Structure 1
């Protein structure tokens, strides 16, 4: 008999299951997909590039929730330092990675319309009340 049944084997579900199991509880995890991880996964796009779908789950690296859960489990995550010299391939050419919001607003990799849409989004974010978005997936 299980003490807890967790619905979903994404980051939150697997974290809850691991913490409960560490506390001595018997846990069953139910997942509808063929693989665990939820949005934290890689995929290969049409051009053959491997992309990270859930990189946001490790945001804030050592200061974030992923690291806090691993510490509570007695484990560690080795985060790679950010590559400051990373380049992007766009239209067959290497480009410097835009630095911060201002860099994305100036880059020729985005159309004028896309940059205006980004600017409008940044203004909305700046004016938004974080308390209204705390429980929303962005």
Structure 2
């Protein structure tokens, strides 16, 4: 078997092993083995293939892996401002229709209108905040079965 084919086989095996371990190290070694296999397929000698594998492995493990691990370890971004209101529950203070209305969201009073312009949400109803447009909350009523 040609050396370049062995490199490609090693790359495939390392890629499969990475899917089961999720360490990020084996995947980077697989990429280095793939580069070495492509180097061999171009007709370069085995010494060049080994050098490409060594440089690729070292670069992947020393440079790429720490950066990738830092990005994976970051906490999810916190939603703040009006974005934090989307998905919350609102209580309508007045009837909310296409022309407008008022709703209480998290202790604050907001102008509101229904997300679906054809809906009318009665006063005192529960609604979900689907979006915020400027200073207006777009609401969708919670069904009576969900309110129980």
Please give the range of the TM-score, normalised by the shorter of the 2 chains: under 0.3
- Structure with more relative contact order (C-alpha pairs < 8 Å, separation 6 or more): 2
> TM-score, normalised to structure 2's length?
0.20
Larger gyration radius, structure 1 or structure 2: 2
Higher helix fraction (1 or 2): 2
> TM-score, normalised to structure 1's length?
0.21
